[in-house]
């Protein structure tokens, strides 16, 4: 008879201790990346977030997509028997290259799905620059 090994208490403790926000909120900002002829499409699930709660930024070649709900703003009063809806935030970063600027990237939100278009740009190869020897 085959028996599964029982995990110890310490295994569970360390699994939870090293868990990051990214793994805990793995269902937030789930992303598909589609390769089209002239651009990449990042299709990001942002359920429950409004347009003003989502930020798309480009810095040093990294495209950062973040979504955050303000906890103080959404506090509801009353007696709850159970609360499962969590007010949280999530961040994803994607390296898109150093040769893009924010005007090249387009983003659109529709029914809880954010679509970000990142153009394919070939890296410009600088011609050889000679250094004068004195």
Which fold, 9-73+81-119? Immunoglobulin-like (2.60.40)
- Dihedral of the CA atoms 115, 108, 54, 37 (nearest 10)? 30
Residue 95 parent element (H or E): strand 89-95
Give which of 31, 29, 53 is closest to 40, Cα–Cα. 31
**For residues 134 and 112, what is the distance between their CA atoms, to the nearest angstrom?**
63
pLDDT over 80 at 127, yes or no: no
Bigger pLDDT: 27 vs 15: 27
| Integer Cα distance of 128 and 81 in angstroms | 70
Whether 79 contacts 12, CB under 8 Å: no
Q: What is the DSSP letter of 86?
A: -
Q: Residue 47 in contact with residue 30, Cβ under 8 Å?
A: no
Average pLDDT of the chain, as a whole number:
77
pLDDT tens digits for range 41-90: 999 999 888 999 999 999 988 999 999 987 655 556 778 788 776 677 89
Query: 122 or 91, which is more confident?
Result: 91
pLDDT at 42: 95
pLDDT at 133 over 90: no
Does residue 115 carry a pLDDT above 90? Answer: yes
């Amino acid at each position: 008879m085959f028996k599964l090994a029982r995990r110890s208490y310490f295994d569970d403790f360390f699994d939870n201790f090293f868990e990051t926000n990214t793994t805990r909120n793995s269902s937030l900002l789930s992303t598909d990346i589609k390769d089209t002829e002239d651009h990449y499409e990042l299709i990001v699930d942002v359920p429950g977030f409004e347009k003003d709660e989502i930020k798309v930024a480009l810095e040093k070649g990294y495209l950062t997509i973040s979504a955050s709900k303000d906890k103080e703003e959404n506090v509801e009063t009353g007696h709850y028997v159970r609360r499962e809806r969590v007010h949280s935030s999530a961040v994803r970063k994607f390296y898109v290259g150093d040769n893009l600027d924010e005007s090249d990237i387009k983003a659109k939100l529709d029914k809880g799905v954010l679509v970000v278009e990142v153009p394919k740009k070939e890296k410009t190869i600088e011609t050889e620059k000679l250094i004068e020897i004195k």
